[in-house]
Amino acid sequence: MLTFTALGPFHAWSEGVPLDLGGQRQRAVLARLLVAGGRAVPVHTLIDELWPGDPPAQALSTIQGYVSRLRRALEPGRAPREEAEVLVSAAPGYALRAATEQVDSWRFESLVKSEGPPEQVWASMESALGLWRGPALAEFAELTWAATEAGRLEELRLIAVERRAGAGLALGRATSLVADLDAHASAHPLREEGWRLLALGLYRMGRQGDALAALRRARAVWRDELGLDLSAGLRRLEADMLAQRLEEPPPPPSATTTTGVTTGVTTGAAAGEKVLRVLVADDQALVRAGLRAMLGAEEGVTLAGEAANGEEAIAGVREHRPDVVLLDIQMPHLDGLAAARRILAGERPPKVVMMTTFGSDENLYAALRAGVSGFVLKTSAPEQFLAAIRAAAAGDALIDPAVTTRLISAFAGRTDPASPPALAGLSDARLDVLKLVARGLTNRQIGQTLALPEEEVAVLVKSLLDHLGLFDRAQLVMAAYESGLVTPGDKGHFSSL
């Protein structure tokens, strides 16, 4: 059987024996037709792409000569006037006629895109990666079309690696996958799926601290390389790990398993898990309707009530006792800041997340000092709203680091008569904890950093609040910045949990 290989050195084979395809440019003609996937490539395109910017005067006849010699190599038994069956004339040019099974890159792509239950996906990705002898089309790397196709195939290879790992985790094979996933994430640090799978694999092995450390590594890389925080999906995974909301590793599937690849993250409330009740307060009916639809479509959260102004929000909190309040900072009758202060001054107050349009209102800084759990822009995707709600309910750290960091950079260090007392008298241990709180770490992460039990960190945080006369973790962050203990230029970062 005639076969072609492009996932590595380019060759054509007849019954396993390599064929003589001639010189580099003649081989490039066949490779270009293979890249077209069976579609016709016009002759003028072949000329332009084989001699970029400087085709010879006899380019057309040269291409015709290449095709004639390639046909003899591919079909040596074809009679002189018999039509070619492999490298065929297809107006206004030529095409390669072959079955998917005859071309390694075509079969590779078909396998990578195949679907099925985890064991089938695992087998397909194993087969796909077994075809790879890359880099693809390396001998034609100076030609734009070959470089583009090589990049596309490399992307498919990375997807295959990640799909194989996802199927493996679904099949309970975390232990054998983690080392390869660590190497994959380190080699391709901007790929979200690589970090997600690594963290999930570590978590499945019972290494929760290492799983969270992997996500911190990802966050540091993304901030250094892109100036961005983690994606909403990775922030959600981090929050779910900290809140112990992830599924237990699944049992090994039977031969009749028909479920798809799992992500390992529960999408709704697990058995016995508390459903978060959210009160929405915004003077725009359209905004409330959108948030109502978002909450209605998500398992694990529910709408507790609605309010069109600050007074209604306060009354709604008393009546419905929500876990989280999404509160617009600009509302009639009583603005969001004043409403937040009154809500947070109540007995056992809910967490408050401020909604803002631009993230540039100076009132946001005052809201942080009042004890709100953070901010979310109204233009955010639903996933970010939901991540903010869950983060606030977890009560560990600030939300939306991009907005928070900008605010602190703008307003930290201002003299404020209502600012908390100086930090004099605090022990070094409590100052270290305060610094890490200000940088957005959770109690568990602080414990891992300082080699302290999580329970001891919680006691230290409580003692800081009592000493400074504060009641919320967000106020501790403000105290650290206003006192100069931590500055906006520090290397520390805000967690998005």
CATH number at residue 37: 1.10.10.10
- CA 20 to CA 12: how far, in whole Å? 8
- 160 lies in some domain: yes
**Confidence band for 363, pLDDT divided at 50, 70 and 90:** low
Domain annotation covers residue 254: no
Q: Both tokens of residue 210?
A: 């290492």
Q: Which phi and psi angles does 243 have, rounded to 5°?
A: -90, 5
Sheet holding 2-5, edge to edge: 2-5, 11-14, 17-18
Closest by Cα among 325, 234, 328, 230 to 278: 325
pLDDT digits (tens, 9 = 90+) for 20-44: 999 999 999 999 999 999 999 999 9
Q: Quick check: 214 and 193 in contact, CB under 8 A?
A: no
**Claim to verify: residue 401 and residue 367 sit in the same structural domain:** no
The rounded percent of the chain whose pLDDT value lies above 70 is 82
* CATH code assigned at 372: 3.40.50.2300
- pLDDT confidence tier of residue 248, bands split at 50, 70 and 90: low
Question: What single-letter amino acid sits at 24?
Answer: Q
CATH code, 193: 1.25.40.10
222 and 120 in a common domain: yes
Question: How are beta strands 276-281 and 374-377 bridged, if at all?
Answer: unpaired
388 lies in some domain: no
Cα–Cα distance between 420 and 452 in angstroms, integer? 27
> What confidence tens digit (pLDDT) does each residue in 190-243 have?
999 999 999 999 998 888 889 999 999 999 999 888 888 888 889 999 988 888
Total domains present in the chain = 4
19 and 64 both lie in a single domain:
yes
CB neighbours of residue 491 within 10 Å = 7
Beta-bridge mates of residue 306: 280
Q: Is 83 helix (H, G, I), strand (E, B) or coil?
A: coil
Does 92 lie in the same domain as 62? yes
Is residue 384 included in any domain, yes or no? no
Per-residue model confidence as pLDDT tens digits over 111-164: 999 999 999 999 999 999 999 987 899 889 889 899 999 999 999 999 999 999
Q: Are both 423 and 340 inside the same structural domain?
A: no
Same domain, 318 and 442: no
User: For residue 333, what are the CA distances in angstroms to 267, 311, 339?
Assistant: 38, 7, 10
Out of 75, 105, 135, pick the residue that ends a domain.
105
Q: In this structure, are 415 and 475 located in the same domain?
A: yes
Structural domain span for residue 456:
396-497
pLDDT-derived band at 88 (thresholds 50, 70, 90) equals very high
Provide the Cα torsion 333, 335, 338, 339; round to 10°: 80
Rounded to two decimals, the pTM is 0.51
Q: Which of 82, 105, 128 finishes a domain? A: 105
In a domain, residue 197? The reply is yes
Of 105, 128, 150, which residue constitutes the final position of a domain? 105
For residue 390, being part of any structural domain is answered with no
Q: Are residues 129 and 175 in the same domain?
A: yes
State whether 465 and 488 are in the same domain: yes
405 plus 353 within the same structural domain: no
CB 182 within 8 A of CB 198: yes
Is residue 26 one of the residues assigned to a domain?
yes
Q: 7 with 35, same domain?
A: yes
Same domain, 115 and 90: no
Residue 481 has pLDDT above 80, yes or no: no
Classify residue 430: in a domain, yes or no: yes
Of 71 and 398, the one with more pLDDT: 71
